[in-house]
Amino acid sequence: RLIKGEVVLKNVTFGYVPGKVVLKNINVTAKPGQKIAFVGSTGAGKTTITNLINRFYEIDEGEILIDGINIKNIKKDSLRSNIAMVLQDTHLFSGTVRENIRYGRLDATDEEVIEAAKIACAHSFIERLPQGYDTVLEGDGANLSQGERQLLNIARAAISKAPILILDEATSSVDTRTEKYIERGMDQLMKNRTTFVIAHRLSTVRNADLIIVLEHGEIIEQGTHEELLALGGRYYQLYTG
């Protein structure tokens, strides 16, 4: 089991198809517990980087190390249990709320399910459902609001003990009150985990330990919010323009 959650990308180059480079010479070091934000225009390569950390694809050059171990030498199921994900489209299934949260951790007790829901700030809305944690969700959570589905997704990540977290923030806006809940849930979730966030909300970006600006598959700027604003480059354009 990997425990520290240090992630290092060294000179990573990758393309989905031969002859078309999508990421070029990427170097990133995430110390345990740090929060790294990827920003950049559409098609820049943000999702691709997270795909590579998950080893959904093999890289062409360079290496990716987790706690100093090349991910090629880590078993896929071990990698899965050490990386939690909250992605834009939540995949809920027709089953109870409890089953949906426990997904991937079938050994989890009812207490752990409730604890995870509390971390995600989902406990109070679940308790208000007709059968609470035993309420059956329609396919893909159709009987829940978008924000509620997102909170269940956060609870699902919270129940995993993975030291590494990948977040692809939703662009679509939920109401301000739900957004506040989601932010609180996320803060709890990120605590003590190395987090890679594909950030769309300025509030998330601003709080990151390191912001990486990607353009056409290359890192063009990196630093903290203040450093990048002072630089007056692409990041400055993105967040003041």
User: What is the nearest approach in angstroms of Mg ion to the Cβ of residue 55?
Assistant: 18
Residue 232 zone, left/alpha/beta (φ > 0; ψ -120 to 50; rest): left
Asked if residue 106 binds ligand GTP (CB under 6 A), the reply is: no
Q: Which is nearer to ligand GTP, 43 or 95 (CB)?
A: 43
How is residue 240 annotated by DSSP?
Answer: H
List the one residue out of 133, 95, 136, 88 whose CA is nearest residue 114.
Answer: 133
Classify 212 as helix, strand or coil: strand
Asked if residue 44 binds ligand GTP (CB under 6 A), the reply is: yes
**Stretch of 25-33, 40-48, 95-103, 155-163 contacting ligand GTP, by CB under 6 A:** 40-48
Classify 19 as helix, strand or coil: coil
- The tokens describing 21, both together, are 């480079």
User: What is the nearest approach in angstroms of Mg ion to the Cβ of residue 113?
Assistant: 30
List the one residue out of 174, 220, 223, 163 whose CA is nearest residue 196.
Answer: 163
Among residues 3, 11, 16, 61, which is the contact residue for ligand GTP, using CB under 6 A? 16
**Stretch of 6-14, 45-53, 133-141, 149-157 contacting ligand GTP, by CB under 6 A:** 45-53
Among residues 5, 45, 147, 163, which is the contact residue for ligand GTP, using CB under 6 A? 45
**Stretch of 17-25, 29-37, 44-52, 169-177 contacting Mg ion, by CB under 5 A:** 44-52
Burial of 52 (0-12, 13-18, 19+ CB in 10 A): buried
Query: Which residues make up the interface to ligand GTP (CB under 6 A)?
Result: 16-17, 22, 40, 42-48
